[in-house]
Structure 1
Amino acid sequence: MTTFAIADDGVRIAFEEHGSGVPVLLIAGQATGMHGWGPFADALARDFRVIAFDHRGIGASEEGDAGLYSTRSFAADAVAVLDAAGVAAAHVVGHSMGGRVAQWLAADDPGRVRRLVLIATTASDRAGGSGARRDPAAIADLLSGDRARMRPLFFDDGWADAHPDVVDGFFGRVASRPALRGHFAASRDHDARDALAGIRAETLVIHGSRDALTPVPHARMLADGIPHARFLELDARHGLHLDTPAVLDAVRDFLLPEGQRRD
């Protein structure tokens, strides 16, 4: 059942819950709805109380002023969702832009984050000292709206062909053009590099070695900037939380109490 949180500016943010146990907040990527988590969320719900939401301007959430979108304001929306769900603190898992949002949540509201998982994300689009820049051709494919061009950025062909319903759920969205532009600008302008040192939550950074949207050196710099963060690199693309089973295993083992983890 869809429930609504009320953000600071009165915008209604849609969210859903599944499962029971320690809460896990899932924060989706740029212009991606909560149902895009698909089987990843379903699997986590076997062990946790999973909470997922539509960013403002996406799906069932209201749009608000798209000209004011930022990853930091999206983090405030995430806090509103936790409040509406009656959750004082949750594990937080963010994918892509959702990982950028999660960085602000962990830095600005450390008491709300138990453990933090950052998947296929970066502290800033700026190359900084990494020496790696995002591929303009990959960004053009992402912004094209053409699923045939976007799909190879996220998923291996064999997996995508075998799971068309999951691919549809990931790429399917309801959003206006201003909202899409606002999401892109929020993600593009994100820069939390100076805030990383203040993140207190135990953190796991997971990244695909074949991620054309976010080069691996960005993820390594992200992990290096967060105190005692763990870094896991896998042979995968940008949508690795869906097409790479090792991601689910790693997230589950990281979030579960030690006595319940896999050997």
Structure 2
Amino acid sequence: MRRTGSIRVESQQLSVQGLQIAMQVAGEGPPLLLINGMTRSQQSWKPFTRELTGRTIVTFDAPGVGDSPNALLPLSMAGHAALAVAVLDAAGLAEADVLGFSHGGAVAQQLACDAPDRVGRLVLAATSCGVGATPSRGRAVLSGVEALADEASWQFADALGLLWHSLAISSWSSISFLGAITAPTLVVCGTRDSVVPPANSRVLARRIPNASLVLLPAGHDLQLAEHATALARAAEKFLQTTTQPINIEGQDHGLSAL
């Protein structure tokens, strides 16, 4: 364990099902599990987590990303969700709020379906329900890989990892179980998102019970520093709510709600 300023930071290598998974637990307070986008390591959350206070932040690198070696065989989306459960176990958490970005948002949906008792409140950022979401979703899978891979410091450890993740998401769909998600849910997307257009988020918000939708004046990459504050404010407002989620009015922060 180390400390950055006054913040507790604990990094570890988790061994699960023959995989070595790099994970980190930082801070103190109610736990929030962050699940990365397809080509992103856990370091990509830094602009966002700097905007949060009073929370235990749990992050991890999926196989083939950051400090986690690649898997020999591809994981299904259920397999990725099972890894998230293993990370919660390793952190000693029976339950946590969960925020997933892009590909991580798909994993978060699967997690909320497969292990509903482990998810408190759910935030789905710039993501979709997968195959059959909207006509543009097929193009988004490929264009999203290309767009996100431009961030060299956040790329996969190897090309095979990218292929495995692409295969997992290419045939996956949550459309059949969205109505069974019990976690209060906030769906967030950028109005200028051309990778996963806002229509995808509207599908999620309409099909998930007790879901809200917030639109940000942004593109796809809500992890960028210039969007981190708005995303953090929307997420914090929702996560701190003790009643059923409602549409969040956030004009002071550049937000719009539908």
Change (3 A) 1:14 1:137: closer
Matched with 1:247 is 231
Q: Pick from 38, 57, 60: which aligns with 1:53?
A: 60
TM (norm. structure 1) is 0.81
Equivalent position of 1:118 in the other structure: 124
What CA deviation, in whole Å up to 9, does each residue of 1:99-152 have, x standing for no partner? 00000111110000000000000011434xx4x4147489347437763xxxxx
Tell me the residue number matched to 2:186.
Answer: 204
SS of aligned partner of 1:193: coil
**SS, match of residue 79 in structure 1:** helix
Name the CA shift for 1:146/1:175 in 2 (closer, same or farther; >3 Å). closer
Distance 1:253 1:58, change over 3 A: same
Alignment of 1:142-221 (within 5 A): 142-143=145-146, 147=150, 171-221=153-203
Which of 192, 195, 205 is the matching residue for 1:223? 205
Counting only pairs closer than 5 Å after superposition, residues 18-37 of structure 1 correspond to structure 2 as 18-37=26-45
Report which of the two has the higher share of strand. Answer: 2
Q: Does 1:14 align with 2:9?
A: no
Identify which of structures 1 and 2 has the higher relative contact order when contacts are C-alpha pairs closer than 8 Å and 6+ apart: 1
Residue among 83, 88, 91 paired with 2:97: 91
CA offset at residue 77 of structure 1?
0.3
| Residue of structure 1 in register with 2:115 after alignment | 109
3-state SS of 1:240 partner? coil
Q: What displacement does 1:173 show?
A: 3.2
The root-mean-square deviation of aligned C-alpha atoms, in Å, is 2.4
| Maintained 8 Å contact 2:149/2:155 | no
Q: Secondary structure at the match of 1:6?
A: strand
The alignment of Structure 1 onto Structure 2 pairs a total of residues equal to: 234
Partner of 1:139: 142
Query: Which SS does the other structure have where 2:50 is aligned?
Result: helix
Asked if 1 retains the 8 angstrom alpha-carbon contact of 2:101 and 2:126, the reply is yes
In structure 2, give the amino acid aligned to 1:100: A
Distance 1:138 1:75 in 2: 19
Distance 1:220 1:28 in 2: 21
Instruction: Evaluate the alpha carbon distance shift between residue 177 and residue 196 of structure 1 in structure 2; reply closer, same or farther with a 3 A threshold.
Output: same
Structure whose residues are more often helix by fraction: 1
Aligned partners of 2:148, 2:201: CA distance in 1, in Å? 25
Please give the TM-score of this superposition, normalised by the length of structure 2. 0.83
Q: Which amino acid aligns with 2:123?
A: V
Preserved contact between residue 6 and residue 80 of structure 1 (Cα < 8 Å): no
> Percent of pairs identical after alignment?
37
CA deviation string 1:210-252 (max 9, x = no partner): 1111121111111111102001112211112433232110101
Runs of 5+ consecutive residues of structure 1 not aligned to the other structure: 148-166
2:61 partner letter: D
Query: Which residue is 1:160 aligned to?
Result: none
Distance 1:138 1:3, change over 3 A: closer
8 Å Cα contact 1:107/1:198 also seen in 2: yes
The change in CA–CA distance for 1:135 and 1:104 in structure 2 (over 3 A counts) is closer
Structure 2 residue ranges without an equivalent (≥5):
1-9, 244-249, 253-258
Task: State which of 62, 76, 80 in structure 2 corresponds to 1:74.
Answer: 80
In the other structure, the counterpart of 1:158 is none
- Runs of 4+ aligned residues of structure 1 deviating over 6 Å after TM superposition are none
